[in-house]
A and B are shown apart, each in its own frame.
Chain A
Amino acid sequence: MACRMLHICRVVNNSIKNVQSINNETGDELWKGVTSVSNAGRRRGRGRGVAKKRDLNKGQIIGMGKIPIQFPGLNTPVFRGKELVQQQKLSVDPERKQKLIEFRQSQTRPMRVKLSPLERGWTSSKMGGRKIGPPDPIEEDTFEGFETWVLENKMITCMTGNLGRKNRVSSFVVIGNGNGLAGFAISKAPVAKASLKTAKNRAGQRLMYIPRYKEHTVLHDFFTQFGSTKIFVKKMHEGYGLVCHRVIKACCEAIGIKDIYAKVEGAKNVKHTVKAFFIGLLQQKSYQQLAEEKRLHVVEFKAENGNYPVVLASPAQVRKPNEVPSNEPLDFTQYVMGNRVVLKKKKLPPFFTKLPSYKKRLVKLERTRNSDETRIQLLAKYGKLHSFLTEKYPEAQLLCKRKPREDETVE
């Protein structure tokens, strides 16, 4: 590298004229000579191993050179108490040079920030699924309690007449406060950081309120479609969790939906999925609306509550039984799904159940089929894995492999 530097600075020629030019070049110019690669060269793949600019004076402190001298006003205070401090030579540290070299070598590469698995997002390297904090406050409106989920962050290119291939970063994010308010936006910028920031702030301007059932799930099952992306959403009981595509899961977390089952059919395009899901959520009908449409009571039956009927909504006027035509679909799920019936495929047994080896395995396992329960029961009863015979016959206990002691192995 030094050779290259000299070459660039034309020191090799060793003429007086050229030597003068060293003094005229600034540090930046010198660095440029080392670190830059021509456009032609970059296109051929050079400039990968090129050195990066770094601070050559790292670790040095003003006033502390090879010979440490005490300069009052520079590296020591002028007065110590009431006494005036004099300029003074201090004892030389013989290891100074060694320490300086070690310090400079130890911090050559910038430290890579390691994220915990919870913060990492969907994959290790891409931004998708990662959270990037609330949008920037607008004057007095701070987005308290909001969080942003990156759904898509990718390089997009286009060809322009002027610049040729032009690269930009497209970011698609969803933000929400986990309490019914959520919004999503897309943004493009030359740099990822800027694009994420604009997307986040833009999403903050497009918030919508999503009604939820008891603040944990959707109001009812629904079907929704955007383009060829179709989503079947099912309302679920408390504690079920989010069983759906990761993009829908991020949206649910932003909105504050905790229990849902969703099946995406057709194209699994991120933007289409999010749009379809939000359209479906916004098109949900309230129970009052459903009751008025059907002119019947909407009644909830929960198995854990002994199927006690709970009236969720009643219309102003209820139809009499003879007013309900016999061919009218009265199934609630069918009605809210827009007369669509979800195909429930029968789950076939796995292929290996037909193999003879599987039968053998079952026979072998039959002996130990209740061992887990027995183990727990014995531990609860005796505190140890042994039977009722052990009191009489001490040898009737479980043989466990004894670890060899350290002193035994030494011998």
Chain B
Amino acid sequence: MLSYRINNFLRHTYACTISNCRSFASTSVETGLEERNPAPYFFNRNVQSYLKRLTTVDYAKIFRTRKDGHRLKAPEYKFLTDEELQEATEAAKRRAHKYLQMPPVVKKRVDPSVLLCEDPALKGHDTAKYVFTDITYDLNDKERPIVVREPEGTLRHATWQERDRIIQIYFPKPAREIEKPKMFEAEYLKDLLDRNEYIFILDRACVQFEPDDPDYQAVTREVYEHINREKHFDILRSTRHFGPMVFHLAWTRNIDNLLCEMIETGRIEHAAILIRLVHLIYPSMKSVIEKCNVRDNVEFIMHYAHLEEKSIVEKLLQSYKELQQVHQIVQEDIKQEQEQEHSIQNLNSETEKVNINQ
């Protein structure tokens, strides 16, 4: 009862200050990589559309068999007309977009350092800390007032770690644990990474942490870097984590491996989009200032590689061009042969006709 009253009082007095403290998506862009806030870039409409296009939609992968602990059910069968089939497919496609919703990339949160009040008279009132939580049902968890009374008598806002624990106790989210699971510790995480369980780690991280949690960002960062090192981009393609990974690589200007992989697998259009994405994030790059007037994707990538001095990319592009030329020649040859065969067949049939007539 007492805590409720205190909470009620505190909610009215401090709600404003708290909300001011916890706005993670502030628009001010500072210099320096660590300080810069990625949120406005990530939520930019152009960036979002680029990331979605890079993700690619492979329905076989999106609707893969998921091992999410549910009991399997016997499959259902239906007799459908063309129209009903179309409708069912459309509905599935709409669901696919939900599966591909990207976890946000935002700035790390900072613990509030403001002391609410200091009561020296309360010093030593107890040996334990008192945590006061507003457990009103409808509140946003980011704005829920939670304060801590220290044994020294100071009253302060709870740190983010404390908040996570308390909120999980009062409003438990499914599959989230109060303490950080051991699999996110370095030694276990390394083992998982060696087994290429990227999707599992990232999914669990999404469940366990908030996107502005430093732990979440450390874990995802480690996974993305590992994928970049091992060039296992194809494992994440067509999942919700591909976009954030590309954004992370673009943000840290570490796109060489991804670019090479895209050119090697013949995704020239994707490679061009990736470069445009980097240009959006870093508008002061050489290749942005010296504008490329050609609309061709290959030339555009060449322009980037030339100006940014990426010799590997240039070499790969060269070999890609040669390969394309060889393909073209082969295609033409096949066409010619087919035409020849066709003409020979026509000749034969004509001679047969002549024979019959004779």
B170: interface (CB < 8 Å): no
Report chain B residues within 8 Å CB of A298: 77-79
Cross-chain contact A333 with B77 (CB below 8 angstroms): yes
In the complex, A238→B75 CA distance in Å? Answer: 10
Q: Which residues of A contact B82 (CB under 8 A)?
A: 297, 318, 320
A237 neighbours in B (Cβ, 8 Å): 72-75
Instruction: Please tell me which one of the listed residues A234, A294, A303, A306 contacts residue B62 in the complex, with CB atoms under 8 A apart.
Output: A306
Interface positions, chain B 105-132, Cβ under 8 Å from A, are none
Complex Cα spacing A380 to B177, Å: 13
Query: Which listed residue (A296, A297, A312, A380) contacts B182, Cβ 8 A?
Result: A380
Return the CB mask of B59-86 against A: 1 if under 8 Å, else 0.
1001111100010111111111111110
What is the chain B residue whose CB lies nearest that of A330?
A: B79
Chain A, residues 299-326, CB within 8 Å of chain B (1/0): the string is 1111111111101100000111100100
Residue B92 CB within 8 A of the other chain: yes
Judge whether B81 and A297 touch: CB under 8 Å: yes
Q: Select which of B63, B75, B182 is within 8 A of A306 by beta carbon.
A: B63
User: Is B95's CB within 8 Å of the partner chain A?
Assistant: yes
For chain A, give the interface size range. Answer: 35 or more
Majority SS at the chain B contact face? mixed
Given contacts A235-B74, A306-B99, A308-B92, are A297 and B64 in contact (CB under 8 A)?
A: no
Is there contact, CB below 8 Å, between A335 and B59? no
Q: Which residues of B contact A294 (CB under 8 A)?
A: 79
Complex contacts, B292 vs chain A, CB 8 Å: none
- Which of B70, B79, B81, B95 is in CB contact (< 8 Å) with A304? B70
Query: Are B95 and A306 in contact, with the CB atoms below 8 A?
Result: yes
Give the residues in chain B near A240, CB-CB below 8 Å: 72, 74
B74 and A305 within 8 A (CB): no
Residue B89 at the chain A interface, CB threshold 8 Å: yes
- Whether B81 lies near A239 (C-beta < 8 A) is no
Does B88 lie at the interface of the complex (its beta carbon under 8 Å from any beta carbon of A)?
yes
A324 near B72 (CB under 8 angstroms)?
no
A284: shortest Cβ distance to chain B, in Å? 13
Interfacial residues of chain B within 130-158, with CB under 8 A of chain A in the complex: none
Instruction: Give Cα A307 to B78, complex, Å.
Output: 12
Cβ-closest chain A residue relative to B67: A304
Q: Are B59 and A308 in contact (CB under 8 A)?
A: yes
Q: What residues of A have a CB within 8 angstroms of the CB of B84 in the complex?
A: 321
Q: Are B92 and A299 touching (Cβ within 8 A)?
A: no
**14 pairs, A vs B, C-beta closer than 8 Å:** A235-B74, A237-B72, A238-B72, A297-B79, A297-B82, A299-B77, A305-B64, A306-B62, A308-B59, A311-B85, A318-B82, A319-B81, A321-B81, A332-B78
Q: Apart from A297-B85, A301-B77, list 15 A-B contacts with CB within 8 A.
A: A234-B74, A240-B72, A296-B80, A297-B80, A297-B82, A303-B75, A304-B65, A306-B62, A308-B59, A308-B63, A318-B81, A321-B83, A333-B77, A335-B79, A380-B182
B residues in contact (CB < 8 Å) with A: 59, 62-66, 70, 72-85, 88-89, 92, 95, 99, 179, 182
